[in-house]
Structure 1
């Protein structure tokens, strides 16, 4: 009986060292958040002329990067003195994701995107708008420079999202048709930042 308690106490001690014990994965690995993959997807959005590896954003869609970008957008908006919080940004993102999914399902009937892919592409395409919101902390966006940067961020965001949406079906001629609703979504976020 005494041996049972000794063994139990030995194995339950949190300060004991076991060389054969498994190494616990980090919290990011347990939550399946790959920071290298998130940075790679942000780089894809930042390079408008890059075409070869654009499908990596569509093959493995994750929502941790877009949620981080939405949180960063809300934080920068709050720091610049605007009133929208994470709830309104997140609500707009959900509505725009559902509407964009319906539109893409009608446009590319032979290739249906999963909802997570649409949410991932729309979320990662907010990188220029997040940069604009960070710029808005230090400089007013209602000036000529702010309006110019806002317009260029809407164009950049819509071009990168539409490029990724037409990559898988291979219908490059339909990119302007997809770019228009992407520009509307990006313009909503920019208008929230400016007013």
Structure 2
């Protein structure tokens, strides 16, 4: 049985009486003098992008800035009064730092003083105790500690921490012994003691540098004799400087020399073995 479909009827609009067949066939030629064109076909008069301000009192007046019409002087208007003027062009940058201290002075490192103290220690018989007691420093001892550690590193021994630890312990030990000997009349402080012990390490540093070019000194009698010479040299320097500085007399020099001999013997053993 065929299926029926309900289709609504199609209605076509009837043309108006005013429409003629010629206008229906040619819609592009149709003119409507009484109707307005579509919106997208309209033309508007050109307008300025920024219209001039109105003369009413409520509008903000337009302010023009003419930079070329104003001349400014560098001393008055180019720089504010709260800031100083720049330096002249003929002044070099190096002359600005003439009053600044050097980096060595800020770090309290005096190479001239270090050389004078080192030169006085080259004579083990008559060192200059006043030079070490009047102006102690730690820059020279630190240089000797670092030199000894570097020479040991060239020999294949990494002993930076060992040398620094032994220096700290030996300085505190020697400072305590000297205060017991001096009593209330002693004037030695720990800073000066560390400085003297560090500067007296110079013969051991020389021995460490010489051991790089010598056969193993720990396995021969000649090496032991050479090590003993440098130990006695360092002991004599340290005991003389500390005896005249802390106590002020030579009668306790033998007692001071014994702990000094133990300290520098330990450092020489680091070099030998």
Unaligned runs of 5+ in 1: none
Give the match for residue 126 of structure 1: 201
Q: Deviations over 1:114-163 (max 9, x none)?
A: 10110001000011000000011222322333322211111110111000
Q: RMSD over aligned Cα, in angstroms?
A: 2.4
Number of residues of Structure 1 aligned to a counterpart in Structure 2: 191
Q: CA contact under 8 A between 1:28 and 1:34: conserved in structure 2? A: yes
Match of 1:31 among 107, 124, 134: 107
Give the match for residue 88 of structure 1: 162
Q: Compared with structure 1, are the counterparts of its residues 115 and 69 closer, same or farther at alpha carbon in structure 2 (3 Å cutoff)? A: same
Q: Compared with structure 1, are the counterparts of its residues 92 and 18 closer, same or farther at alpha carbon in structure 2 (3 Å cutoff)? A: closer
Give the whole-Å Cα distance in 2 for the aligned partners of 1:96 and 1:19.
46
When structure 1 is superposed on structure 2, of 138-147 and 125-134 the one drifting more is 138-147
Give the whole-Å Cα distance in 2 for the aligned partners of 1:111 and 1:66.
23
Give the whole-Å Cα distance in 1 for the aligned partners of 2:88 and 2:266.
56
Larger radius of gyration: 2
Give the match for residue 48 of structure 1: 124
Q: CA contact under 8 A between 1:38 and 1:65: conserved in structure 2? A: yes
Q: CA contact under 8 A between 1:127 and 1:157: conserved in structure 2? A: yes
Give the match for residue 107 of structure 1: 181
Q: CA contact under 8 A between 2:149 and 2:158: conserved in structure 1? A: no
Give the match for residue 69 of structure 1: 144
Q: Compared with structure 1, are the counterparts of its residues 17 and 125 closer, same or farther at alpha carbon in structure 2 (3 Å cutoff)? A: same
When structure 1 is superposed on structure 2, of 147-156 and 122-131 the one drifting more is 147-156
1:137 aligns with 2:209: no
Q: CA contact under 8 A between 1:69 and 1:127: conserved in structure 2? A: yes
1:58 aligns with 2:133: yes
Secondary structure at 1:91's aligned position in 2? helix
Q: Deviations over 1:66-124 (max 9, x none)?
A: 0010000000011012232x211011000011111110000011113110110001000
Of Structure 1 and Structure 2, which has the larger fraction of its residues in helix? 1
What's the offset of the Cα at 1:167?
Answer: 1.1
Q: CA contact under 8 A between 1:10 and 1:16: conserved in structure 2? A: no
Match of 2:238 among 137, 161, 165: 161
Give the whole-Å Cα distance in 1 for the aligned partners of 2:88 and 2:193.
47
Give the match for residue 152 of structure 1: 229
Q: CA contact under 8 A between 1:82 and 1:193: conserved in structure 2? A: no
Give the whole-Å Cα distance in 2 for the aligned partners of 1:22 and 1:48.
43
Match of 1:10 among 86, 105, 120: 86
When structure 1 is superposed on structure 2, of 179-188 and 74-83 the one drifting more is 74-83
Q: CA contact under 8 A between 2:117 and 2:132: conserved in structure 1? A: yes
Give the whole-Å Cα distance in 1 for the aligned partners of 2:226 and 2:269.
13
